[in-house]
Structure 1
Amino acid sequence: MSTHLAILPLDIIGTLTTRLNQENRHPDYATRFLRLPHPRTGLSSLFLLHDQHSQDDPTKTSSILEVQAISPTNARTWFVGEEVVADGKLMVMTPMDPMFLLMNLLRVPQARDGSKGNFRPMPDIIEEIAATISDVSEKDAQKDPSLKVSADDVISFLSLDFVQSSIKRVCDVKVITEEITVYRYSHDIVLENLKGKVGRLSDPRVAEMSRTLVRNLAKDGLMDDGKEELLESGRIKLACELLSQYLPRDILQDLIASYDFSKLDAHLKTVRDEELALLAAAPDTGKRTKAAKAGTAGNGNQKKKKDVRVADAVATDDGDKKRKKDAKSSHGVEKLKKVNVAGMSKLSTFFTKKAA
């Protein structure tokens, strides 16, 4: 059995610890993994279903966690006590609003002609969604088995009580009788609830808890005095970007279009133009830097030329000394020239043929 390190919310860790400390599985705890289409990409993703309640506390706590694996660029291992975990991945499990999963699933039965469709009982909608997604993932699983989403996982998720209570945030609801309630996916209701999320995330008390968001706002010059209106728009846009991790492209575009970012966009364009102007001036600075380097190189070249001249002078002087030395060594030759060679045979006579 492979071992993985994971980051979990404290309440989940407490629940799992309680279960592990008991001899038998507690009937009031339910934890299982589900494979469901990711709301942004539609690809098969792993989620952890956590459902907890006890006899002492009648309140039922249920949640769905997104499971993500963070893999290191280079090979890495973990040391846990005396054990070595060869797989250096880190599993991160974070709570997720089931609304994001619902908006993606409940759009599946929508009419292809773009109309809103008809109201239908939820059991019929769930059955169609499960069958459609299962058929699509079956084709994808032929290329990659990990992309398979089973109909059982879809049905299990959509049948959960806390998921059922969230359906009204995604659908129009009509109560026909006490026994019959019908539903229809509503794009307007989805946008309305998303804007509520944007409002909560863009609240200064929430947005400024993140240093990253504050740095982004300051970088764009939105934290300066007198730019309160632009700052508010900046917070709203950042909130939309945060939600974009869980939104299909068309819903994200409609969400952004529901706000007026014209002044913010004009301000950001001015900031970007100033940055581009500075970048455009960078080559001149580069030329000056190159000129400075060329000047230094020129000084170096002059020094080299001077060194060459010195070397030449030294070489010339050495040559003169050598010639003087050669001149001194030729005194023996001069003495030989003064020797009387009359009557001496020439050296060439020793190499000529004798006469017959």
Structure 2
Amino acid sequence: MPKAVRKNSKAPVKENNQWVLIVPESEVSDVKANEQEPNFVKLRHPKTDHGAMFMFTNDNTSVLEVLRFEDDYRSWFVGETVQEDGSLYMTTPIDPLFLVLPYLIRADQSGMFMTLDQIVSDEDYPQCSRIVDCTEIANLNHIADWKGNDDIKAYRFSKTKTLDWLKMKVERTADVLKEKHIYAGSGAKVETFVRSKKDEATRDDYLRYAHGLISDYINPDLGQELHKYLGIQEKVEETKTKLEEPPAKKARIANGTEPEEDYTKFNSNGTKNTQADKAKQTAAQKALQKVDKTGMKSITSFFSKPKKTVK
């Protein structure tokens, strides 16, 4: 029987925190009675080496990364409650080989072949053992050498295989970016609005963009090696080929004062360059030259000392 609750009870009712999560329907709708529901675990992130949230499906064969998008001024209305945390959580599938790769590189320090359960072992994140059950782990030979038979296999990290595998990932990602019309050139824009052929993204642009996406799941050193392995040409910014004309310079006199004449107006033999003057004259100056100046005095004559007359 339900417990009776007094109407005048002043005890605060504690609301359970709830979050909004976007998950592929296929990952949560086919849960059978004898199977566990999808659950969230914290694993070591392959790039940062810090803890991050991941979700394993009900059959433990797939793993999804949990991404969080937060806003300082956002809340959610869930039913008749208001959830203060307005973050939006999204899940995206991730190849479990990315999660195994850091453990494989670390185990390679011993130089020995090891079984997968020995390689994927972490005291700080014990749930990492669930990665071994993922279906994609069967492709571990893409990043490692192995010995043994179908019952017992031992693995060792192979850098050559790993770079080939990562290169394939980058190239496939670049193809999808181009197919989905996601612009990968300079600046953030949609390819629909690119009108000029000069703005069209090249193959290297797509490879460079895809390399950045894949590098978010590998350590920085391996990311740099992958960049060299891909042979992507560095993008060079366009520079101005036309040099601007420098401002006119005046010869400096010994006492530090500036001369009245611009030395660039004179030829090498000392004569004045009249052609340069005519080219730089304004329309008013050209019209003034046509005026009859007979009997006119220069304006500088009014400021000179008067000449003494001889009696």
**TM class, shorter-chain normalised?**
0.5 to 0.7
- Correspondence list, 1:96-175, <5 A: 96-111=94-109, 117-126=111-120, 129-130=121-122, 134=123, 149-151=124-126, 153-158=127-132, 160-175=133-148
1:107 Cα shift? 1.6
Contact 2:144 2:157 in 1 (8 A): yes
Partners of 1:178 and 1:35 lie apart in 2 by 30
| 1:82 partner amino acid | E
Alignment CA distance shift 1:210-1:48 (3 Å): farther
Instruction: Tell me how far apart the structure 1 counterparts of residues 196 and 40 of structure 2 sit (CA, whole Å).
Output: 47
2:102 aligned counterpart, secondary structure: helix
Q: What number of residue pairs does the alignment pair up? A: 225
- CA RMSD in angstroms, aligned pairs only: 3.2
Distance in 2 separating the partners of 1:212 and 1:48: 31
Q: Please, what TM-score do these two structures have when normalized by structure 1?
A: 0.55
User: For the Cα contact (< 8 Å) 1:99–1:169, is it kept in 2?
Assistant: no
CA distance in 2, matches of 1:270, 1:125: 45
For residues 223 and 232 of structure 1, what CA distance do their matches in structure 2 show? 18
* Counterpart-to-counterpart distance in 2, 1:155 and 1:99: 13
Other structure's SS at 1:66 match: strand
Describe how 1:273-288 pairs up with structure 2 within 5 A: 273=239
- Paired residue for 1:270, among 227, 230, 237? 237
Distance 1:171 1:96, change over 3 A: same
Deviations 1:138-189 (A, max 9, x none): xxxxxxxxxxx332x022223x1415313222211123x4543221011111
Residue of structure 2 aligned with 1:89, choices 87, 90, 97: 87
Distance 1:34 1:166, change over 3 A: farther
* Alpha-carbon distance change, 212 to 88 in structure 1, aligned in 2, over 3 angstroms: farther
Aligned to 1:199: 171
Q: Provide TM-score, normalisation by structure 2.
A: 0.63
Partner of 1:2: 17
The question of whether the paired residues in 2 share the 8 Å contact of 1:38 and 1:44 is answered with yes
Aligned to 1:41, what secondary structure does the other structure show? coil
Aligned to 2:207: 236
Residues 113 and 156 in structure 2, CA contact (< 8 A), matched pair in contact too: yes
Q: Structure 1 stretches (4+) deviating beyond 4 angstroms?
A: 214-219, 222-228
Structure 2 portions without partners, runs of 5+: 1-15, 244-311
Work out which of the two has the higher radius of gyration on C-alpha atoms and give 1 or 2.
Answer: 1
Shift of the 29–212 alpha-carbon distance from structure 1 to 2, 3 Å rule, reads farther
Equivalent in the alignment of 1:188: 160
> How far apart in 2 are the matches of 1:261 and 1:224?
24
Deviation at 1:4, TM superposition (A): 0.5
Change in 2 beyond 3 A, CA 1:225/1:40: same
Q: 1:1-356 residue pairs with structure 2 within 5 A?
A: 1-15=16-30, 26-52=33-59, 62-72=61-71, 74-111=72-109, 117-126=111-120, 129-130=121-122, 134=123, 149-151=124-126, 153-158=127-132, 160-175=133-148, 177=149, 179-203=151-175, 206-213=177-184, 216=187, 225=197, 231-262=202-233, 265=234, 268-271=235-238, 273=239
Deviation at 1:108, TM superposition (A): 2.0
Distance 2:152 2:61 in 1: 26
